[in-house]
Structure 1
């Protein structure tokens, strides 16, 4: 039996226009922080004045025609497309006061294009859109994002696009929007389908290359003649110039002659590299890497083993086996000086993906297998520990825990819920990539444990695309481990993830049933019948099947599933699970019109949740009781249940759920002829929905409009469930 609460966390949005499919409602609220995800600008920027003039002209033309501005910056690896996009935005920073959203696309470890749906789910969370408001189908989610961003200026930066299909869902809806895309490809589909302006980026000429080399390398005029071979060898690739400039800055101007001699010597291996488009970059990376001290070279190689090109300093500490954070920071600082990475703040860092790939190659070529394996052990274990620590803080649900990690965290909590959520959000990309890393390197036990530990975070945040993808990998790893219960748990969690998303376009109903039935099959063998973990999982699978039947409006079948779930718990100490099953049965009996049975089950659930001090579910059960009493024609009892639920939810639940209760109570007051109390509840609900950036503010506004139609008052006000 799986239980979670429904807390919603996320960012905020400024000057939003909340939109329904055919209704637009503008509302105002105190100014709040605006999401600004755009990467910082680079130092020592030179050239590209003609490019920026062209970008200005495109932007001006689009504004004059009242159409979105969409530009694609394209060129060879290391050409500086992302840096150019950053610089142009910096030059116009006062023109873009609204949200700025950033995504890094490319391909995943399997070579498939990064899923844009996962990016959308993340962006909507950052914008503060409640999970309950978001559509489940990928196409509908993209349409929702366009609607949500249709009211004012928004900047979107899309780095490393590899297909037109990746970009399409991420285009905002506002005619005032500016979209900057970078890619090594021309992507003609963007031009034909979305009128994107393609802006090819050319290499730096020798003059600008020389200027950049002097700035980064702190070189003086007296080195001009001797440094020309170095300038030419960089091929006009800005990243290559920066790398060799940092190298020279660390060694001093006297190193220019030695380096120039290397480039002029056609017997060196760098000569062959001049043949390829990225030759200069590869050559410069080799030069800089060979010039690092032993400790710095080791740091560089090991960072190549990270599952992503970005991470937290604590992750680097684990990977390097550093004794403490100051030691890890010093190690990273040396690579930052060499332009091999950037540090956005004191806690995070990022490497250019091409540099990260080069570091990985160096680790394969120059590091022993034993050292690589030990580093991989440390980083995978780090991510498992982070995820399990956070999951223990976020939920008390039962987990398969062969190493006793959750028992240890229960005895000695390491963090609180708010801190746990922030930590997982910061490390989300690394955690998900670590699932693939653990699986691909044979650390299968850690792969499925990582998936299990991401349950509550993904469920609450609505990260369905990432969640389902990770769980598929976790299931494959559990099978490799041969741990029958781990396999059953992965099937159950996959089934529940599909059930929670429930997209008809993705056939989630079919997939949910398949995985839940597989979990049942695996836990019903004679040898597993008496094991508590198997029985809990069997109960959870039956519960999921019952919820699936409820979603399909088959209440009688749902009752049968919930009965099986309860039978599986016979002899298992799980009062919370029994309370939830009573709650589900109450829902089903209401749907069947058996209101006496529904009231009995919901009162039992309310009593059990109260005894557990589970106040959130206590309030939620009161809301269900009110809905049943309304359906039974007992409006007075329904209002009484909501009167009891309001203060509990105010103290223990999210604003979104509070608003739903007030909306429902206002409807009941109106039906009872008490217009004054109805208006008070609807007004309070509107304020709460507005604070949550919810499109349901429209529902409250409709009720508050002069002489609302009866059909509007009958709009569905049932709270969204997050089982």
Structure 2
């Protein structure tokens, strides 16, 4: 019968067993047949006295009375069904992948307790918005209701105590408690109630695992927690799934801006809308504030707003309001105030640099602490989502967080403290870069450039870790540019040393654009500091890359001035490398006699300084030039001497360079059979050392050698391998070789000395 209650169905079953009609039942009780029908179909309340009388008439021995008591309890629960979930935030957009992850977390939940999900992330990242949006989609699964509490973990006042929240939950459930009940007794009471009435429980803005632990129900319920910190205890003890939020994607941010300011308005100025979102760093809170500004100022164009947001010095002022909960600076400040002193100091000083990733060692130097303490502070900042983990055990800051950290550094650190921090950071990078490039080219810089390592622990490399040294330089390129600029703007006169130190790395890798930028930046810093040594060293560095790129006139001008400065200072090492670069430039413009003279002068300067490996490099260059003027025996002698020096000093890079040139010289003298073993050995060394540009360069010479031996198919295969490497490096030489291969008349021997 449609609409009949559970009690009514049980009464019907007992009447059939007893062969008793409803009319007979009415006669045996004190209630009319019509009234009984309404009660049994739920149209009238079921008094327990009536249930007891029917139970007695039908001889159910209390079974019907128990069913009635359960229904009465259900009715009471339904009348007290808590529905505490706040409304979801208007204009919610995107986060599709996160919502899929959250849905999946419920399907795979295996913990014995409630299915618990923690949404964590930085201030203003949209944790509560996502939690409420997702919770709204789940609430219908829980007919018993939903409990919600803002735990105020990072509000202006103190976080809420769990016993007060428990009292509110139990009150909402209609459960009385004795005044003397302990916290654990109240927790047990909540879990007992929810064991038969599973609910959705949302705990917003949690401060710690200790705060939420007493509020966790048992199996059957679902718990959603949001927090600015990583609550590791929840994964360990409650099997919680952690979902870490990132900033909005560009198109999601534009869509959110459109929801707030008007879709048509945003669509009409899409480029400006994208720029606004970028200025906001994809932070939902910042985008919402910008959208509210636009909504309340209909005559303000998006282009004008993007312009207002442009200056970093005033960006946080623009993204502010009287309400700290809708104020970017205010919400970051709440997280900052929760830090311990050492963590807060690290955070402030990171604001001077950390928009680019920074390693633990560099951060420790910046903060003036050791690696262990630096690691601990960075871990705490990452746990609070004030820094973001980056590749290679490094961290970086969201740019709005970095702006706030810079403000705190300006307010809480003296100028001397800020300058000291930048000086330590510069010295750490200078020493680390020197250690890396000394692996690639031992003692190439000589003794004229010394770095004070007091109070820092620079990155170390083993003498044979060439691949590690190159990888470190590649990883740190952006940071080195940033640190050099930072040091120069603070008037640190030695800022030029850092980019100059990378010259051996650039020589090996041929990262042309980065090399030019780095060398130009170094020269600018040296000139600003009026440092004569620095100017000369940086002129040589810039001339080296300009010469390789064919700008030989510009290179010669720089080298001539650098030679004068080095001579006046008595800097033999600097003058020696300037002479090497000058000799290479003379070689490129077909002035072999001048090249021989300058290489010979460079060798004398290095010998006088005891820089034997540098002498080997000069011999390698000199041997090639001797070959070009048909002094083959002298060239071969020079190159074999360079190989002996390289092997004596266990320098595979110097050996591979020399064997490459020896192979090219043998080929030039029409001895391809003697060239091939030298080139194969050079290739083997360069492959092991990760010297990719040099490897490709040697492949080109090997291709010409094979062609001279009549091995045309092997020659083409070798050339194609070289082209693949050059193309992968985005080196223009790859295009030249593509054209060479297409003409089928290759002239491959165009190797650099």
TM-score (norm 1): 0.53
Q: Which residue number in structure 2 is paired with residue 316 of structure 1?
A: 363
State how far apart, in whole Å, the 2-side matches of 1:305 and 1:494 are. Answer: 28
Q: Which residue number in structure 1 is paired with residue 484 of structure 2?
A: 435
Please list every run of 5 or more consecutive structure 1 residues that lacks an aligned counterpart in the other structure.
1-43, 53-77, 81-158, 162-177, 185-195, 214-229, 238-268, 503-507, 631-637, 671-676
Q: Does 1:200 align with 2:273?
A: yes
Q: Which residue number in structure 2 is paired with residue 659 of structure 1?
A: 699
Q: Does 1:716 align with 2:716?
A: no
Deviation at 1:579, TM superposition (A): 4.8
How many residues align? The count is 460
Secondary structure of 1:515's aligned partner: helix
Secondary structure of 2:638's aligned partner: helix
State how far apart, in whole Å, the 2-side matches of 1:698 and 1:401 are. Answer: 41
Distance 1:536 1:435, change over 3 A: same
Q: Which residue number in structure 1 is paired with residue 573 of structure 2?
A: 536
Q: Which residue number in structure 2 is paired with residue 471 of structure 1?
A: 519
Show CA shifts across 1:63-121 (max 9, x none).
xxxxxxxxxxxxxxx999xxxxxxxxxxxxxxxxxxxxxxxxxxxxxxxxxxxxxxxxx
Contact 1:663 1:700 in 2 (8 A): no
Distance 1:536 1:160, change over 3 A: farther
Aligned CA-pair RMSD: 5.1
Deviation at 1:363, TM superposition (A): 0.6
Show CA shifts across 1:418-455 (max 9, x none).
1122222222211221112222223323x233123211
Contact 1:300 1:359 in 2 (8 A): yes
Q: Which residue number in structure 2 is paired with residue 25 of structure 1?
A: none
State how far apart, in whole Å, the 2-side matches of 1:611 and 1:583 are. Answer: 11
State how far apart, in whole Å, the 1-side matches of 2:747 and 2:719 are. Answer: 14
Q: Does 1:380 align with 2:426?
A: yes
Show CA shifts across 1:279-336 (max 9, x none).
94344334544555544433321211226442223322222334434x4344234434
State how far apart, in whole Å, the 2-side matches of 1:393 and 1:272 are. Answer: 48
Q: Which residue number in structure 2 is paired with residue 518 of structure 1?
A: 561
Contact 2:352 2:406 in 1 (8 A): yes
Q: Which of 331, 340, 347 is residue 284 of structure 1 equivalent to?
A: 331
Q: Which residue number in structure 2 is paired with residue 454 of structure 1?
A: 502
Q: Which of 413, 437, 448 is residue 367 of structure 1 equivalent to?
A: 413
Contact 1:474 1:490 in 2 (8 A): yes
Contact 2:461 2:469 in 1 (8 A): no
Show CA shifts across 1:170-192 (max 9, x none).
xxxxxxxx9x999x9xxxxxxxx
Contact 1:657 1:719 in 2 (8 A): no
Contact 2:672 2:706 in 1 (8 A): no
Q: Does 1:401 align with 2:447?
A: yes
Q: Which residue number in structure 2 is paired with residue 620 of structure 1?
A: 660
Deviation at 1:611, TM superposition (A): 4.4
Q: Which residue number in structure 2 is paired with residue 648 of structure 1?
A: 681
Distance 1:236 1:427, change over 3 A: farther
Show CA shifts across 1:375-431 (max 9, x none).
223322221222121111121252143576699999994772111222222222112
Distance 1:669 1:406, change over 3 A: farther
Contact 1:585 1:601 in 2 (8 A): yes
Q: Which residue number in structure 2 is paired with residue 552 of structure 1?
A: 589
Larger Rg: 2
State how far apart, in whole Å, the 2-side matches of 1:234 and 1:620 are. Answer: 60
Secondary structure of 1:612's aligned partner: helix
Alignment of 1:502-513 (within 5 A): 502=550, 508-513=551-556
Q: Which residue number in structure 2 is paired with residue 41 of structure 1?
A: none
Q: Which residue number in structure 2 is paired with residue 10 of structure 1?
A: none
Alignment of 1:9-408 (within 5 A): 47-49=92-94, 198=271, 200=273, 273-274=320-321, 280-290=327-337, 292-306=339-353, 308-325=355-372, 327-344=373-390, 347-402=393-448
Q: Which residue number in structure 1 is paired with residue 540 of structure 2?
A: 492
Show CA shifts across 1:239-288 (max 9, x none).
xxxxxxxxxxxxxxxxxxxxxxxxxxxxxx99994499x99434433454
Contact 1:583 1:602 in 2 (8 A): no
Show CA shifts across 1:429-487 (max 9, x none).
11221112222223323x23312321122232333333333334434554576664443
Deviation at 1:552, TM superposition (A): 2.5
Contact 1:309 1:352 in 2 (8 A): no
Distance 1:665 1:720, change over 3 A: closer
Q: Which residue number in structure 2 is paired with residue 256 of structure 1?
A: none
Show CA shifts across 1:20-39 (max 9, x none).
xxxxxxxxxxxxxxxxxxxx
Q: Which residue number in structure 1 is paired with residue 218 of structure 2?
A: none
